[in-house]
Structure formats: structure tokens, C-alpha cells
Structure 1
Amino acid sequence: MSVTLDHIIIPARDKKTSAEFLARLLGVEVGAPMGPFVPVTTGNGVTLDYMDSEDFRWHHCAFLVSEEEFDAIFARIKEAAIPYQANPDGSGAGEINRRDGGRGVYFDDPNGHRMEVLTVPYGGWKQAKTERA
């Protein structure tokens, strides 16, 4: 069996609000609460399990999406007037990046976690992953 990521716990001041924020932008559903978690599941089955916490450092999560998904997500970001940047350090405000022939954008969730959507992984080495069958 190859090693795969199953889930990651994302601390939040309000797990339900945070999960709903991300799910709405990504165009996916929020799962039913499970114990202390509110899950958001990605297309490859990895779950982001939001858990209430007051003390945490920010996380970074990058979501590889198709060109069509990027268009839809980016439209929701702009519609919600969420500030976005081209770079992880916050530079390039109001811009997207075009690294490796793809597009990418960074934005913060309500807890300051730096989220990213991109159409081509950096280095382009997994480009086939974005071309879903």
C-alpha cells in the first residue's frame, strides 16, 4: 500500500463557520459532525477536520483544481469580496499567479489559515493529476 494523506485537523475559533466558509468557496459539502470535528472532504478523499480551539498557529492548505473549478472558486472569492493575493507572503494583492503555465491564488480563512487554489502544481511535475478522467 502506498502512503496517502487521510485527514488533517484544522484548528478554528468556530469550527462550523470555518468549515462552511471553505466548503462554500470550494463548492463542496460540509460533512456531518463527527465527535469534536466538522469535516470538509476533498475530491481525493482527504478530509479537513475542523476542531474548535483558541490557541493555534496558522496552517497552509493548497487545493489542486481544474481550470473550470478555479474559475468557479475564484468567482466565489471575488463575489464574497475576500482579499486574495498572488503569493504566499501576501504580496501581489488583488492578483493571481501564473506559475508553470497554471493559475493560483491565496486567501485567508476566518482564522487566518492561508488557503490556496492552483491549477498546476509548482514545478509542473504533477500536471496530469489536474487532467481528471
Structure 2
Amino acid sequence: MPATFNHTIIASLDGPVSAQFYTELLEAEPAPSWGPFTNISLTDGVMLQFAAPPFEIQMQHYAFLVGDAHFERAYAWLVDHDIEHWADPHMTRPEETNSEHGGRGVYFKDPAGHLLELITRPYL
């Protein structure tokens, strides 16, 4: 059986707050949670687990591929919630989206400071 992506733990300051942020933005579903983890489920059974680490959180980058209609809803959600966003990963083009790779993209930070990216076309 080839490998498939199953889950990852995302360091967060407050697991439930981060899980709610991702759930709303990604239109994900809550998943059963246990121990220090607050979990959500993405398509194909991929699980994101949020937990406060015993160390200082270092910014990570997570990119999510979404459809055009989902991108429009998510972008409106970012704007409605006054979430700072950029067209580029260097954060030099504020309040814009990009059209690289034949689709649209946007960068923004989650509640723990991780740099997230939404794209409508894969880079490959």
C-alpha cells in the first residue's frame, strides 16, 4: 500500500481556539478529541490535531488546496474577521491575493502565528 498522509499535530496556544479557526476557514468537521488534543477532520480522513507544546512555538507553513468557490468563501471570511493577509509568503503585498500557478492564493496567520496558505491550483 502506498503511503498517504494521515494526521499532524499543529502547535497552538489554545487548541480549541485554533481548531475552531481551522474548522470555520477550511469548512472542516470536528473530530473526536482526547488527551491534550483538539482534533478536526479534513477530506479523506486527514486529521489535524491541535495541542499546546511544552516549548516556544516556532512558525510553520501549512498550505491547503481548495476549490474556487471555497476560496471565495474563505477569503470573505478572512476579510470579515479583519485577518491580515498577503498575496506572497514574504508578506510584502498586504490585503491582496495572487494568481500564480494558474489559480488564486492567499497567505495569513493562524491564532498561534503559523503562516497558512490557501491555493486553488496545485503547484505541480
For the criterion TM > 0.5, the same-fold answer is yes
> Once structures 1 and 2 are overlaid, which stretch shifts more, 34-43 or 12-21?
34-43
Cα distance per residue 1:51-80 (max 9 Å; x no partner): 112522111111101111111111111111
Structure 1: runs of 5+ lacking an equivalent: 126-133
Contact kept, 8 Å, 2:87 with 2:94, in 1: the verdict is: yes
Partner of 1:75: 76
1:3 corresponding residue in structure 2? 3
Cα distance between partner residues in 1 of 2:24 and 2:67: 17
Q: 1:115 & 1:62 partners in 2: Cα distance?
A: 6
Could you say what the CA RMSD is over the residues aligned between the two structures, in angstroms? 1.2
CA distance in 2, matches of 1:44, 1:104: 22
TM-score, length of structure 2 as denominator length? 0.92
1:41 & 1:59 partners in 2: Cα distance? 20
Structure 1 segments of 4 or more deviating over 6 A?
A: none
Map of 1:31-42 to 2, 5 A cutoff?
31-42=31-42
Structure 2: runs of 5 or more not aligned: none
Aligned residue-pair number? 123
State the distance in 2 between where 1:76 and 1:89 align. Answer: 22
Bigger share in strand: 2
* Letter of the 2:97 counterpart: I
Identity of counterpart residues, as a percentage? 37
1:92 aligns with 2:96: no
What amino acid is the match of 2:3?
A: V
Taking the aligned partners of 2:110 and 2:121, their CA distance within structure 1 comes to: 22
Structure 1 length normalisation: TM-score?
Answer: 0.86
Aligned to 2:59: 58
